[in-house]
Amino acid sequence: MDNYIVSARKYRPSTFQSVVGQKALTITLKNAIQSNKLAHAYLFCGPRGVGKTSCARIFAKTINCLTPTIEGEACNSCESCVAFNEQRSYNIHELDAASNNSVDDIRSLIDQVRIPPPISKYKVFIIDEVHMLSSAAFNAFLKTLEEPPHHAVFILATTEKHKVLPTILSRCQIYDFSRISIADMVEHLQYVATGENVTAELDALNVIAQKADGGMRDALSIFDQVASFTNGHITYQAVINNLNVLDYEYYFRLTAAILKGEVREAVLILNEVLLKGFDGQHFITGLAGHFRDLLVCKDESTLVLFEVGASIRERYMLIAKACSDQLLFKAIELANNCDLNYRLSRNKRLLLELTLIQLCQLNMPTTSTEDAKKKRVIEPIASQEQPQQSPNTVSQKVDSSTPQPQVVTTQMPSTSITSEQSSTVSAKKNGRPPIGTSLKEIVAEKPKEQFERQVNETAQEIITPFTEEDLVNSWDAYTQIIDKKVFLKTTMINCKPVLQEDYSFEVAVHNPPQQEELINGAIDILTYLRQQLNNNKIQMRVRVSETNEKQLAYTSSEKYEYLLSVNPALGKLRDEFNLTID
């Protein structure tokens, strides 16, 4: 029985022409060999499985070939090429820096550098995973790397260039290997399938290429795995089942449910996906990518960004026509936000379902303006504009530059209308339901004549003169009936009103919170004062005292002097116990 060789080794490129997806780099290397302009050190860097070590071996074999071809390739027939192919060449040395990363290993390599090659012109040293060398090993390697013998060529390979010392980078020609495109990978997989007598669907090879994420070695490993699973007949469904990949069909069904606004169907599709063992975050990231693919399929200019098989591409283009750009923009945003919040969420399934509910609402038709006008909507009081000179209205005028008093004006109804009735009349006059009324009262409105009579009564003025002492006494009386509003009560006790002209009074408070508290309770305060003083023209102005705004915090000595003026016995206490003030 012959020994089985995996495809990644069996179909490893042996010439520059057979290297997949790195055409620019291979042309550069071939031209350097043909023009005999070789550097003494090269650094090949890039992702795993993209051909770094393979290109290093091809380059080493080609520069030592005794009879190279016109195209700049190795002849594979001379003594040097045969020795290399049979893995017995003394001109090429490979060192795995992951397991040989000490100073002693580098010193042993330096000793070999001094010996000239027995055959051909160059002695090539390939150091794989060079970033794994220790700092001491790097430093021991610097001098030799900078000034090697004329017959020595170093080729360093790494997947993490940022870990290589800058002094090493400056001594090398750097070649950056890119990820292999899906189209190139699919083409090579078709070539391998033909060589292995394996039948493979094009869509199946596309899924394998996408799963490999730009690495040809990974793609060939997956190909061998699926070929064994299907016994040489690779199908799309077999690849989906074997690799545990979420099928496109789920996303197509989910898109149809979102376009119809079918929330229940979308949640059932999610349940079906989770029951198959797929991770929720894997599902939501795939959904975001699905909406992205739909977006790029809407325009032929961006269609090059979508790398899938022909049949899947046509289906994407068909569905993309039914999706608007705004819907796809918002869908990508919602899916991306769900992906970001997934790890922090305690109820991950609920987060996914909530995202699907929001997605299903994107395509729902919006209510027209005319239909909205026909419906009676009760809006929050805070969101409505307050009309000028209407009953129970609070108007606030604050200048941003200097503190100005807050003017609070209300209109007091006559004695025949209670405060609750006044609120009801004012609310109905403004076209909205009054505060504190039930829906039953809103529907059963009072007759028009009664409504107009109450408005006329409200317009009557009651003016009775009063003094500042009467105002303060009524102010203090109101503080006695306040039970739950402790902050308002404290503010009214500490801040007294000062009577001004035209039956207005001003209250100077110590800070903005006190000002806001008085403004919020202004209607109740003015209602009480107008009833007690029998004057419905009373108005209140609230301002923050400028002296309190600019005054610094009291020191300990100032607090003591104030307390001593209130209670002289405090001085005796200080003298008796010999106390000091810090």
Match domain 468-550 to its CATH number in 3.10.100.10, 3.30.300.180, 3.40.50.10170, 3.10.20.740: 3.30.300.180
> What is the CB neighbour count within 10 angstroms for residue 482?
17
Which residue(s) pair with 504 in the sheet?
Answer: 539
Give the pLDDT of residue 460. 60
Give the pLDDT of residue 175. 92
Q: Report angle CA 472, 543, 517 to the nearest 5 degrees.
A: 75
- How many angstroms separate the CA atoms of 484 and 514, rounded? 16
CATH number of 7-176: 3.40.50.300
Buried b (16+ CB within 10 A) or exposed e, 308-328: bbeebbebbeebbeebeeebb
Contacts of 122 (CB under 8 A, 6+ apart): 38, 60, 63, 64, 91, 151, 152, 153
Q: 497-499 and 504-509 as β-strands: parallel, antiparallel, unpaired?
A: antiparallel
Q: 406-408 and 539-544 as β-strands: parallel, antiparallel, unpaired?
A: antiparallel
Query: Using an 8 Å Cβ cutoff, are 471 and 533 in contact?
Result: yes
* Helix (DSSP H) and strand (DSSP E) numbers for the chain: 28, 11
pLDDT by position in tens, the chain (length 582): 467 888 888 888 888 888 888 888 989 998 888 888 888 999 999 988 888 999 999 999 999 888 888 888 888 888 888 888 888 888 888 888 888 888 888 898 888 888 888 877 888 999 998 999 888 888 888 888 888 888 899 999 999 989 888 888 998 999 999 888 888 888 899 999 988 888 888 888 888 888 888 888 889 999 998 888 888 888 888 888 888 778 888 899 999 999 988 899 999 999 989 988 888 888 999 899 899 988 888 887 777 777 766 677 788 888 888 888 889 999 999 999 999 999 888 899 999 999 999 999 987 765 444 444 444 343 443 434 444 444 443 334 334 444 455 555 544 443 333 334 434 334 444 444 444 444 333 333 444 455 445 445 544 667 888 888 888 888 888 888 887 788 888 888 888 899 888 888 899 888 888 888 888 888 888 888 888 888 888 889 888 886 654 455 667 777 888 888 888 888 888 888 888 876
Helix residue spans in 147-181 (DSSP H): 166-169
CATH number of 182-243: 1.10.8.60
The angle, 0 to 180 degrees and rounded to 10, between the axes of the packed helices 512-520 and 522-533 is 60
Contacts of 379 (CB under 8 A, 6+ apart): 432
Nearest CA among 212, 165, 219, 213 for reference residue 188: 219
Query: Using an 8 Å Cβ cutoff, are 518 and 475 in contact?
Result: no
How many Å separate Cα 482 from the centre of its chain?
50
- Phi, psi (rounded to 5 degrees) for 150: -65, -20
**Virtual torsion, Cα 179, 185, 187, 193, nearest 10 deg:** 150
- Residue 494 tokens read as 């500490």
Give the pLDDT of residue 421. 41
Give the pLDDT of residue 437. 40
- How many angstroms separate the CA atoms of 31 and 112, rounded? 29
Query: Using an 8 Å Cβ cutoff, are 471 and 499 in contact?
Result: yes
Collapsing DSSP to helix, strand or coil, 542 comes out as: strand
- Residue 473 tokens read as 């006494």
Name the E strands within 138-193: 152-158, 173-176
Give the pLDDT of residue 484. 74
- How many angstroms separate the CA atoms of 259 and 249, rounded? 15
Query: Using an 8 Å Cβ cutoff, are 33 and 72 in contact?
Result: yes
DSSP symbols for 348-416: HHHHHHHHHHHHHTTTSPPPPHHHHHHS-----GGGSPPPTT-TT-------SSS--PEEE---PPPTT
What architecture (CATH level 2) is domain 248-360?
Answer: Up-down Bundle (1.20)
In the chain, where the domains are located: 7-176, 182-243, 248-360, 413-458, 468-550
- For residue 228, the surrounding DSSP H or E stretch is helix 216-230
* Amino acid in position 17: Q
Q: What is the pTM of this model?
A: 0.56
Q: Report angle CA 11, 15, 21 to the nearest 5 degrees.
A: 70
Query: What is the DSSP code (8-state) at residue 178?
Result: P
Q: What is the largest CA-CA distance in the chain?
A: 124
- How many angstroms separate the CA atoms of 36 and 38, rounded? 6
Q: Say whether 468-550 and 7-176 share the same fold.
A: no
Burial of 531 (0-12, 13-18, 19+ CB in 10 A): middle
- How many angstroms separate the CA atoms of 239 and 456, rounded? 84
Nearest CA among 210, 264, 204 for reference residue 239: 204
